[in-house]
Chains A and B, each alone.
Chain A
Amino acid sequence: MKLHEYRSKLLFSKCGVPIPRGRVALTAHEAKTIARELGGPVVIKAQVLVGGRGKAGGIRLVHTPEEAEEAARQILGMQIKGLPVRKVLVDEVAEIRSEIYLGVTNDRAARCPVMIASAEGGIDIEEVARTHPEKIVRIHIDPLLGLREYQARHLAVSIELPRVHWRNFIDIACGLYKAFTVSDATLAEINPLVITGDNRLLALDGKMVLDDNALFRQPDLAEMRDLDEETPTEREARRYGLSYVKLDGTIGCMVNGAGLAMASMDVINSFGAQPANFLDIGGGAGAEKVAAALHLILKDANVQAVMINIFGGITRCDEVARGILATLDEFKSDIPMVARLVGTNEEEGNKLLAEANVITATSLTDAAEKVVALAVESQLQ
């Protein structure tokens, strides 16, 4: 789950990272009020969970409260990469002398957090990483010991930060790491961390991604979820405990287990069609969950045929069959379906499906071959 810039910066600030004065506004009028309170020039920043806001016109520098109101009005009406702008952040403007990158994330291969710094921060940091990897400095953090001061100092020295800023930089690095751990984040990033005209360090922009598996112990943060981050279908899937990802193809897939679901998608692909979705119903799904899953698939207008592949361990094939039949009763769908059920209670499951004239298959490849043929047929009609 991603957090908005203003939320991320507030969390950083609570951990001792200096941020610009400013507040979030829901309306243009509010933006004007905040700009007046701050006095002087302000920056109006669209709060959406995608990169490239500046290039899309979602960040504007203005000089008066009236200009702030007008800029906020325009930005609040925008869509950036398909996401509506519902909030703007109004921040005081800082005079920027130089821009640093500072971030912390998990290094999967090293199995621990890694802090990353570069003297060349700003919007082109990814370009820097590609063309000048030596300008990006990394330091691994022992998860039991946490970030040590000497490690933060090592980063400061490595990016050739003037000595006068070391103390503040170390405090900011330790604060950022603290925000990262106490929030159960998988990414906490300040880009840019600027040296201002009056020689302060200031976190101008912030970004956080949280570990979805840890939200149970972060109830306050869990409530900050921006519903625009997910499609309505993905949101509904999450409510039922289904793992669903929308894709561009025409073959709806319902499978138990993530690995088997991916393998099923691959096999469909090698028969010349594209999957419409990834959908893992998990282990031990009952009829109701199966029905909810099938609803999600059938609601997708691109779906021309559905493949159901279940390897029953904890999941019982008869329960799956009952879920399928309940959906068919309700939906009266013309979309052809192929079901391949194997494992626990497969005989009963297959019998139920055969009585309802659902096409059955004996293996994964058999199922994929049949479902692709049906999709082609339905396209011709």
Chain B
Amino acid sequence: MSILINKDTRLIVQGITGREGIFHTSRMMEYGTQVVAGVTPGKGGEWVLEGKVPVFDTVHHAIEITGANTSVIFVPARFAHDAVLEAVDAGLTLIVCITEGIPIRDMMKVRQYLNQQGSRLIGPNSPGMLSPGECKVGIIPGHITQPGNIGVVSRSGTLTYEVLYALKLQAIGVSTCVGIGGDPIYGTSFIDVLGMFEVDAHTDKIVLIGEIGGTEEEQAAEYISDHITKPVIAFIAGRTAPPGKRMGHAGAIVEGGAGLASDKIAALESAGVSVVEYPENIADFLK
């Protein structure tokens, strides 16, 4: 069992005919995800991946014909916010944005609009989600994890893979892994996902992977101490990152004394979370 995505997910891929879009669509289908349609403006009527997936010009049309309930977005950064808004207006309640490098002004408008419409956005700059054995939406490699009872939520991409793989080597499986993305403005927070794991009958323990920048981990710590009864294990990347330097992710920067790893670790520990020193140590706390 899982949160957000499962065997019943009917997925459309926005930007399906691009290089990344087509590559990852085929990987998602190999994993067993029901990809029911793609959307690329101007390419409606075509079929891709040996005629398995129809392409539509608009999200609205794709939903009307295929009954899709979730979208994943691979369109380039300059068009991505428009793609998210199109998906919201077409009535989708779950939208996953993989695209990296969206201007912050665009994302603030999207975020404000989402609040008004009640759709859920995961990302942007997210590796997507994976419910092992059921469904994969995004780019997380399928073979590095297996079904199990651990919920994983992360701001990172490859660091999440590192953790999933280390768990698999210890025969520990995952209910759902959610990559919330490394940008400063995002659709879904740690808190949102923690709340879902808390009520998911098939998640017994939760792994939280954070990094420097912002106050998301501190807010998560406060929420954990008030609302989460399941054990939480955390890793925070960037203990050695100097202030004022952006560490790759747009969101990973220590500014004006806020966003330090040490503050995040202290907040999480005081909320009863076990914070590990190496990502590979997480498995030891889950046994």
Residues of chain A having any CB pair with chain B under 8 Å? 106, 108-109, 111-113, 142-144, 181, 184, 186, 211, 213-214, 216-217, 243, 245, 247, 255-263, 265-270, 274-275, 278, 280, 283, 311, 313-314, 342-344, 363-365
| B contact residues around A365 at 8 Å (CB) | 278, 280
Most-contacted residue by chain A among B102, B127, B184, B240 (CB, 10 A): B240
Looking at chain B, what size class is its interface with the partner chain?
Answer: 35 or more
**Chain A nearest CB: distance from B74 CB in Å?**
12
> CB distance A245 to B159 under 8 Å?
no
A269 nearest CB neighbor, chain B only: B240
Cα–Cα distance between A278 and B165 once the two chains are bound (Å) = 23
Q: Which among A144, A247, A266, A364 has the highest number of chain B CB atoms within 10 Å?
A: A266
Please report whether the interface of chain B is mostly helix, strand, loop or mixed according to DSSP.
loop
Q: Are A259 and B156 in contact (CB under 8 A)?
A: yes
Closest chain A CB from B285 CB (angstroms): 16
Asked if B217 CB lies within 8 Å of chain A CBs, one says no
Task: Determine whether the beta carbon of B105 is less than 8 Å from that of A143.
Answer: yes
Interface assignment of B177: CB less than 8 Å from any CB of chain A: no
B247 touches A261 (CB 8 A): yes
Asked whether, in the complex, the Cβ of A259 is within 8 Å of the Cβ of B103, the reply is no
CB <8 Å contact, B141 and A344:
yes
Q: Flag if A113 contacts B108 (CB, 8 Å).
A: yes
Q: Tell me the smallest distance from the CB of B5 to a CB of chain A, in Å.
A: 18
Interface residues of B in 232-263 (CB under 8 A from A): 235, 237-242, 245-252
Report whether A263 and B159 are in contact in the complex, using a CB–CB cutoff of 8 Å. Answer: yes
* Complex alpha-carbon distance, A201 and B28, angstroms: 60
From A112, A181, A257, residue with most partner B Cβ within 10 Å: A257
| Minimum Cβ distance to chain B for residue A320 (Å) | 13
- CB of A270 within 8 A of CB of B161, answer no
> Which of A144, A214, A256, A313 interacts with B113 by CB under 8 Å?
A144
Question: Given contacts A257-B158, A262-B211, A263-B162, could you give 16 more A-B pairs where the C-beta distance is less than 8 Å?
Answer: A108-B184, A108-B214, A142-B112, A213-B101, A214-B105, A216-B77, A245-B245, A259-B160, A261-B248, A268-B240, A278-B241, A311-B161, A342-B165, A364-B162, A364-B278, A365-B278
B112 touches A259 (CB 8 A): no
- Cross-chain contact B240 with A283 (CB below 8 angstroms): no
Partner of B240, one of A186, A265, A342: A265
B111 within 8 A of A: yes
Known: A258-B252, A365-B280. A184 touches B241 (CB 8 A): no
**Contact status A108-B279, CB under 8 Å:** no
Return the contact of B237 from the options A259, A268, A283 (Cβ within 8 A): A259
Among B144, B159, B160, B277: residue with most chain A CB under 10 A: B159
